[in-house]
């Protein structure tokens, strides 16, 4: 059966609409991600020709103490970021009251999220300053002498992560506030009639309804922890002596400072692999929910 | 010439067979109503005619043109949706004129068509409003108006009145019937509502599980359903069904039904294909049941009487005489009586019927009684 | 609502509750106050170690003048606008088109494509760094606005497509069927039905994109080198090195950098929150 010309046009339009965005995304994003893996199998200074080295970049990673520092720091980031969803939920519960000034308070709680990470970084460098920072002030108040957290290889990563936690908590709070607004009023009412209170109410009636939101908050916090870069660059540049690098930052350093693009690409690939675990977990759940919806 | 002709239409959703070998011819100006249980494929059939879903095989002609592969906009149809599907960002006038605008008709023509349709539907004073500002009945009118302005060969309606309250539904039903007469257009109409089907249709199409069970004039279908399914689907309250066994076929059909004396149904269809010993189902419309002691009778206790003024619906428990597949989900017999005070609840009645009014269905569901003529 | 609301009939309790919330909020925003306070100070004040007391003299204007005249922040600021505004506009256009197709047209591989967009959006940026930088160098775009614009548009199109797809998929199906039955082509449906209906989503998306792109730092330092094209985030980071102890000027510059996203946020707060929760993903 011949389709009319018009009908053909109808079929072609979607393809034409899809093409520009899709092509750009495929070329710049997808192709680049694949190419990174290819580069990781080479030695390359970024200018000259690439030489095939097989898996030796990865072998080198295994023996590189800096790599293990980065990996350990990534684990610390993940662990500390687990705090973001519960803290966000706590603040969301705190401000979810219909009292006159609460709207403004909510907006102000969101604020850290709107600030650029560079801004947050600068603010926290100031906060941690051992001579005049807020932290120092607190220590003085208790008669202790303040530590220079950003120059301590034990504390530096924690200090940076806590700074990054600030906007992340705000983000989780937004998600939970939205979740709290979609709670089924009748189920809450039923819970009240059954005399559920406080913790019981939260545990048995509210949280089950927030499962979807909590999942998203958790997934996004984990992914956010793994991709953190800006704040390390601004606050410590990976220092002191490389003790606060993570895979993302080390990758950047190896490539752009040491001109070891192949090695950098190998680091990026490892990061990619770790991230993929979380992304696949997230995608599978998302698709499952989409199907069942 | 026919206006809509479907030939061997088949439709699959992946492995699910949604339309099975549909053949249907609709004459110009005809008002055809499609009924059937939920999920039987009414909307699918309507969307296939509209071109909103592609059929897997078969052929669709509209006004003599093969439109099987034609885009919906070029089929000469207009569709009215259950949810109205008005464009929320456009005014009523823009909604109604959108189809013509797409056809690149001149402004003046669009305005004239919109105005004319608005006058027919009495919505001229809301032309500048947005759909969100209208009442349910007004939205419904706009949706119909949107269809009218395009002057289609065929109007398709998918349960257009089901979101309205009872009073508005009656009003719109009458208006639609008037509109049909006035425009003389072909209309295909899907509904769940028995009254709409019986009153509006020139012909009713009964669908079940993607298959056409029977097509015919409303009263014809009511009087002579081809099978158990159609008999049970049309008519409210629903027909009473009693299971029994065939005893003898020497004069009519003599059967044994638990709880009844021996019944002999006088006239069977020529090709009934029954044998003594077959399981059969006896069908009796509630209005054919009586309590005056005549015909075949059995004692029963009146469980509940619903007095509706003009008529009463009675539910009676008749011991071993049990209905199957009733509306009420019980085994009581349903009776529909004319005006007059029904007996008190709990009293004992002699319920009965005239065997000439009864239907008999073979085990495979076919109607095996002879066609009944108009009384 | 949960938690249980404090009833109107207990005004004192409501007041006390609000006071508690504001105290928590004050602690929460303490770092911001510190920066604000410092931006008001004079250099002498800072040097004298007065970090937390009231400024001896309000010198906000002086600090801002220093930011504008003695640093390149104003130029960086303009650069950021030149990068952010066109990128945002382009992403809105592209993602409306792709989102519409993904939401309304079935075709083989649609789910895979959808998954690719999500995965790409969550990928650590470092995964693309080397090839993208290489690509921009070979296109002759390295260290130009074009490099940043192209990258941001490509990357954000992933996120924005998901966002638009979800929004468009939630529009009632019958609306689209009605338009098709009236003969509208896919292009006409897009322009006449979809675009007017997704305006709230576009508003929400535009502010999110603006914030994401404005706040980018990583690509700013990977794809640019010279001051002529550097955006504010990179500029601010540099400033910290150059003006190491002039915290009053750095603080003023920090506030300056934060102005556009914060202003956008307060103007379009409803859209911002709706956007984040609708997309539930952050670029
Ligand atoms: N897009 C689809 N994909 C898969 N199956 C579908 C789809 N649309 C409909 N079906 C199935 O096809 C069958 C017929 O659906 P249809 O909507 O035509 O029913 P209907 O008779 O209009 O029902 P109702 O009276 O409830 O509106 C149903 O079983 C339905 O589940
Ligand atoms: Mg239907």
d(CA A232, CA C126): 14
pLDDT at residue B120 tops 90: no
Domain count, chain B: 2
Given a cut of 90, whether residue A144 has pLDDT beyond it is no
Question: Residue B279: which CATH number?
Answer: 2.40.50.140
Query: Over chain A, what is the mean pLDDT?
Result: 86
Of all residues in chain A, the percent with pLDDT exceeding 70 is 95
Q: Measuring from each residue's beta carbon to the nearest atom of ligand 1, which residues come in under 6 Å?
A: B 13, 16, 18, 36, 38-44
Give the pLDDT band of residue C283 (cuts 50, 70, 90).
very low
Cα A11 from Cα B222, distance rounded (Å): 46
Q: Domain A65-292 classified CATH 1.10.3720.10? A: yes
Based on the domain organization, do B212 and B261 belong to the same domain? no
- Mapping DSSP onto H, E and C, the string for B97-117 reads HHHHHHCCCCHHHHHHHHHHH
pLDDT in tens, C111-163: 888 888 888 888 888 999 999 999 999 999 999 999 999 999 999 998 899 88
Confidence of residue A2 (pLDDT cuts 50, 70, 90): very low
Q: Among the residues of chain C, which ranges form H helices? A: 11-28, 30-39, 43-47, 60-70, 73-104, 110-122, 126-138, 145-169, 173-181, 186-188, 195-197, 199-214, 218-223, 232-242, 247-267, 269-279
- Residue-wise pLDDT tens digits, C3-47: 878 877 888 888 899 999 999 999 999 888 888 888 888 887 777
Q: Mean pLDDT over residues B301-305, rounded?
A: 92
The pLDDT of residue C4 is 78
Q: Residue A151: left (phi > 0), alpha (psi -120 to 50), or beta? A: alpha
**In which residue are the tokens 């995964």 written?**
C127
Of the pLDDT bands very low, low, confident and very high (cuts 50, 70, 90), residue A172 is: very high
Q: Smallest CA–CA separation between B159 and chain C, in Å? A: 13
- The neighbour count for residue A274, using CB atoms within 10 Å, is 17
Residues in A whose CB is inside 8 Å of some CB of B read 1-4, 6-7, 10
Between vectors from CA B322 to CA B316 and to CA B325, what angle results, nearest 5°? 100
The Cα C212–Cα C272 span in angstroms is: 12
State the pLDDT at residue B342.
83
Q: What average pLDDT does this structure show over B29-58?
A: 92
From chain A, pick out residues whose CB is under 8 angstroms from the CB of C29: 108, 111
Option in B52, B89, B146 nearest C180 (CB): B52
> Cα-atom radius of gyration of chain B, to the nearest Å?
24
Closest C-alpha to ligand 1, atom 25: B38
Per-residue pLDDT, averaged over A3-15, amounts to 68
| HSE-CB for B42 with a 13 A CA cutoff | 25
pLDDT digits (tens, 9 = 90+) for B313-323: 999 998 888 89
Q: How many CB atoms lie within 10 A of CB B26?
A: 23
Which atom of ligand 1 lies closest to the CA of B16? Answer: 5
Q: Among all ligands shown, which has an atom nearest to the Cα of B38?
A: 1
Best of A45, A118, A188, A221 to mutate (most C CBs within 10 Å, chain C): A118
Residue C187: closest C-alpha in chain B: B102
pLDDT for C278 beyond 80? no
pLDDT at residue number B369: 93
CA distance C71 to chain A (A): 17
Within a domain: B368: no
Question: CA C264, CA C267: separation in Å to the nearest integer?
Answer: 5
Q: What is the pLDDT of residues B173-204, one digit of tens each?
A: 998 999 999 888 999 999 988 889 999 999 99
Q: Tokens representing C254?
A: 């920090």
- Ligand 1 atom nearest to B13, measured from its CA: 4
Residues 6+ apart with CB under 8 A from A62: none
B38 CA to middle of ligand 1, Å?
Answer: 8
Please state, in angstroms and rounded to a whole number, the distance separating the CA atoms of residues B117 and B99.
13
Ligand number nearest to the C-alpha of B47: 1
Count CB-CB contacts under 10 A for residue C159. 24
Q: Do A116 and C134 touch (CB under 8 A)?
A: no
**Alpha-carbon gap, residue B317 to A158, rounded angstroms:** 80
Mean pLDDT, chain B, rounded, equals 90
d(C-alpha C146, C-alpha C142), whole Å: 8
Q: Do A99 and C1 touch (CB under 8 A)?
A: no
Chains in contact with C, where contact requires at least 3 CB pairs less than 8 Å apart: A, B
Q: Let me know if domain C68-277 sits in CATH 3.90.1170.30.
A: no
Q: Is residue B87 domain-shared with residue B189, that is, in the same domain?
A: yes
When pLDDT is cut at 50, 70 and 90, the band that residue C279 belongs to is: low
Convert the pLDDT of each residue in A197-229 to its tens digit: 777 778 878 888 888 889 889 988 998 899 899
The Cα of C95 is separated from the nearest Cα of chain A by a number of Å equal to 7
Mean pLDDT value across residues B254-272: 89
Mutation for testing the C interface, residue in A28, A137, A200, A222 having most C CBs under 10 Å: A28
Query: In this complex, do A4 and B71 lie within 8 Å of one another by their Cβ atoms?
Result: yes
Check pLDDT > 70 for residue B1. no
Chain C residues lying within 8 Å of B87, measured CB to CB:
175, 178-179, 193
**Cβ-based contacts of A35 with chain C (< 8 Å):** 130-131
Backbone angles phi, psi at B56, to 5 degrees: -80, -45
Query: Which residues constitute the domain of residue B259?
Result: 237-361
Give the pair of three-digit tokens for residue C162. 């998901």
**C195-222 confidence digits (pLDDT tens):** 999 988 898 889 889 988 999 999 999 9
Residue B52 CA to ligand 2 center (angstroms) comes to: 13
Look at residue C282 and tell me whether its pLDDT is greater than 50. Answer: no
Residue C186 has pLDDT above 70, yes or no: yes
Set of chain B residues whose Cβ sits within 8 Å of the Cβ of A3: 69
> Which residue in chain C is spatially nearest to B73 when comparing CA positions?
C183
Determine phi and psi for B123, rounding to 5 degrees: -125, 25
CA angle A58, A63, A69 (to 5 degrees): 100
Q: Which of B228, B251, B273 is the last residue of a domain?
A: B228
Mutate to test the pocket of ligand 1, among B17, B20, B34, B43 (most ligand atoms within 8 A of CB): B43
Same domain, yes or no, for B181 and B48? Answer: yes
Residue to substitute from B46, B99, B159, interface C, most C β-carbons within 10 A: B99
pLDDT at residue number C243? 75
Same domain for B110 and B44?
yes
Digit-coded pLDDT (tens) for B132-180: 899 888 998 999 999 989 888 899 999 988 888 888 888 889 989 999 9
Nearest CB partner across the interface for A21, out of C129, C157, C185? C157
User: Which residue minimizes the CA distance to atom 12 of ligand 1?
Assistant: B18
Residue A162: which residues within 8 A CB-CB, separation 6 or more?
A80, A124
Round to whole Å and give the CA distance between C87 and C150: 8
The predicted-structure confidence for A227-282, as pLDDT tens digits, reads as follows 899 999 999 988 788 899 999 999 999 988 888 999 999 999 999 999 888 888 88
At residue B236, the pLDDT reads 84
- Mean pLDDT lowest for which of B217-231, B242-256, C35-49, C120-134? C35-49
Average pLDDT over residues B238-266: 90
How far CA A125 is from CA of A179, A245, B326, C39, in Å, comes to: 34, 16, 78, 15
User: Alpha helix locations (H) across A115-260?
Assistant: 117-128, 134-141, 156-181, 185-193, 198-200, 211-227, 230-235, 247-256
Catalogue the E-assigned strands of A4-111: 42-43, 51-52
Nearest chain B Cα to A11, which residue? B71
**What pLDDT, on a 0 to 100 scale, did the predictor assign at position A3?**
44
pLDDT of A6 strictly over 80: no
C-alpha span between C73 and A61 (Å, rounded): 40
Query: Does the beta-carbon distance from A9 to C185 stay under 8 Å?
Result: yes
Residues of chain C within CATH 1.10.3720.10 domain(s) are 68-277
Instruction: Tell me the domain boundaries of chain A.
Output: 65-292
Closest residue (by CA) to atom 20 of ligand 1?
B39
- Strand residue runs (E) in B142-190: 154-158, 186-190
Write the Ramachandran bin of B253: left for phi over 0, alpha for psi from -120 to 50, otherwise beta.
Answer: beta
**Residue of C104, C183, C198 best to disrupt the B interface, most CBs of B under 10 A:** C183
For residue C245, the tally of other CB atoms under 10 A from its CB is: 10
> In chain B, pLDDT over 90 holds for what percent of residues?
58
**Pair A171, A113: CB distance under 8 Å:** yes
Question: Looking at beta carbons, which residues of chain C come within 8 Å of B82?
Answer: 174
Is residue A4 over pLDDT 60? no
User: Which positions ≥6 away from A151 have C-beta within 8 Å?
Assistant: A239, A240
Per cent of chain C over pLDDT 90 is 38
Please indicate, yes or no, whether residues B159 and B272 belong to a single structural domain of this protein: no
How high does pLDDT run on average in chain C?
A: 87
Q: What is the pLDDT of residue A157?
A: 92
Q: Are residues B223 and B252 in the same domain?
A: no
Please name the member of C175, C181, C184 whose beta carbon is closest to the beta carbon of B50. C181
Report the nearest-CA residue for atom 26 of ligand 1. Answer: B38
A-B interface: how many C-beta pairs under 8 angstroms? 14
Same domain, B263 and B116: no
H/E segment holding residue B371: none
């Amino acid at each position: 059966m011949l389709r009319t010309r018009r009908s053909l046009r109808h079929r072609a339009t979607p393809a034409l609409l899809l093409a520009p965005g899709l092509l750009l995304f495929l070329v710049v994003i997808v192709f680049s991600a694949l190419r990174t893996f290819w580069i990781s199998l080479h030695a390359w200074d970024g200018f000259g020709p690439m030489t095939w080295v097989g898996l030796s970049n990865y072998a080198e990673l295994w023996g590189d103490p800096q790599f293990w520092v980065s990996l350990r720091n990534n684990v610390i980031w993940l662990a500390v970021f687990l705090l973001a969803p519960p803290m966000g939920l706590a603040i969301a519960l705190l401000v979810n009251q219909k009292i006159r000034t609460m709207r403004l308070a909510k907006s102000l709680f969101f604020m850290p999220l709107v600030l650029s990470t560079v801004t947050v970084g600068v603010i926290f460098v100031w906060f941690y300053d051992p001579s005049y920072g807020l932290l120092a002030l607190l220590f003085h108040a208790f008669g202790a002498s303040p530590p220079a957290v950003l120059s301590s290889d034990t504390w530096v990563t924690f200090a940076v992560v806590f700074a990054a936690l600030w906007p992340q908590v705000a983000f989780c709070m937004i998600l939970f506030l939205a979740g709290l607004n979609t709670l089924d009023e009748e189920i809450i009412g039923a819970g009240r009639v059954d005399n559920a209170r406080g913790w019981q109410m939260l545990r048995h009636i509210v949280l089950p309804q927030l499962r979807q939101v909590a999942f998203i908050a958790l997934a996004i916090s984990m992914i956010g922890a793994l991709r953190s870069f800006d704040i390390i660059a601004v606050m410590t540049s990976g220092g002191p002596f490389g003790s606060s690098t993570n895979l993302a930052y080390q990758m950047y350093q190896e490539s752009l400072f040491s001109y070891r693009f192949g090695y950098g690409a190998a680091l990026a690939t490892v990061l990619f692999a770790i991230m993929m675990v979380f992304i696949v977990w997230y995608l599978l759940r998302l698709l499952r929910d989409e199907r069942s919806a | 010439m026919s206006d809509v002709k479907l030939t061997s239409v088949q439709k699959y959703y992946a492995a699910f067979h949604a339309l099975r070998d549909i053949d249907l011819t609709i004459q110009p100006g005809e008002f055809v109503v499609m009924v059937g249980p939920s999920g039987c494929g009414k909307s699918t059939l309507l969307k296939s005619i509209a071109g909103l879903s592609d059929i897997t095989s078969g052929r669709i002609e509209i006004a003599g043109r093969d439109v099987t592969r034609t885009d919906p906009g070029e089929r000469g149809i207009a569709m009215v949706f259950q949810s109205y599907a008005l464009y929320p960002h456009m005014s009523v006038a823009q909604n109604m004129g959108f189809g013509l605008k797409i056809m690149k008709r001149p402004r003046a023509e669009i305005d004239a068509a919109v105005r004319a349709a608005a006058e027919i539907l009495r919505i001229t004073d809301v032309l500048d409003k947005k759909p969100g500002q209208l009442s349910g009945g007004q939205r419904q009118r706009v949706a119909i108006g949107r269809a009218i302005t395009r002057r289609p060969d065929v109007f398709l309606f998918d349960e257009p009145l089901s979101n309205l309250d009872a009073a508005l539904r009656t009003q719109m039903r009458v208006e639609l019937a008037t509109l049909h007469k006035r425009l003389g257009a072909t209309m295909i109409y899907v509904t769940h509502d028995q009254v709409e089907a019986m009153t509006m249709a020139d012909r009713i199409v009964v669908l079940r599980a993607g298959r056409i069970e029977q097509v015919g004039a409303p009263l014809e279908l009511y009087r002579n359903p081809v099978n158990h399914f159609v008999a049970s689907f049309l008519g409210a309250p629903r027909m009473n069904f009693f299971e029994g066994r065939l005893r003898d076929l020497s004069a009519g059909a003599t059967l044994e039904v638990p709880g009844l004396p021996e019944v002999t149904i006088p006239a069977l269809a020529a090709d009934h294909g029954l044998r003594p010993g077959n399981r059969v189902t006896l069908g009796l419309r509630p209005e054919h049941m009586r309590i005056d002691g005549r015909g075949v009778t059995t004692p029963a206790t009146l469980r509940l009487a619903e007095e509706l003024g003009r008529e009463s619906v009675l539910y009676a428990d008749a011991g071993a005489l049990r209905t199957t597949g009733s509306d009420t989900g019980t085994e009581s017999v349903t009776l529909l009586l004319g005006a007059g005070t029904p007996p008190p609840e709990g009293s004992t009645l002699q319920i009965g019927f005239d065997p000439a009014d009864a239907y008999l269905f073979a085990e495979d569901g076919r109607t095996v009684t002879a066609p009944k003529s108009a009384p | 609502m949960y938690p249980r609301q404090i009833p109107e009939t207990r005004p004192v309790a409501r007041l006390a509750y609000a006071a508690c919330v504001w105290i928590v909020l004050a602690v929460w925003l303490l770092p911001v106050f510190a920066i604000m306070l410092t931006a008001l100070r004079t250099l002498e004040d800072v040097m004298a170690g007065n970090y937390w007391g009231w400024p001896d003299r309000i010198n906000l204007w002086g600090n801002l003048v220093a930011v504008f005249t003695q640093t390149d922040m104003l130029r960086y600021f303009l650069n950021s606008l030149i990068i952010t505004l066109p990128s945002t506009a382009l992403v809105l256009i592209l993602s409306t088109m792709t989102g519409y197709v993904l939401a309304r047209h079935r075709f083989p591989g649609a789910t895979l494509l959808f998954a690719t967009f999500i995965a790409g959006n969550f990928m650590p940026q470092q995964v693309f760094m080397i090839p993208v930088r290489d690509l921009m160098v070979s296109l002759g775009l390295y260290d130009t606005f074009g490099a940043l614009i192209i990258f941001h548009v490509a990357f954000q199109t992933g996120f924005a497509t998901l966002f638009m797809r979800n929004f468009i998929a939630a529009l009632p199906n019958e609306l689209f069927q009605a338009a098709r039955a009236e003969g509208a082509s896919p292009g006409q449906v897009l322009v006449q039905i979809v675009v007017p209906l997704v305006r709230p989503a576009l508003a929400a998306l535009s502010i999110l994109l603006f914030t994401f792109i404005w706040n980018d730092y990583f690509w700013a330092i990977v794809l640019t080198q010279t001051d002529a094209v550097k955006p504010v985030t990179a500029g601010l980071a540099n400033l910290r090195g150059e003006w190491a102890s002039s915290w009053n000027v750095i603080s003023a510059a920090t506030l300056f950098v934060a102005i556009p996203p914060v202003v956008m946020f307060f103007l379009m707060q409803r859209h911002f929150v709706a956007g984040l929760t609708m997309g539930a993903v952050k670029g």
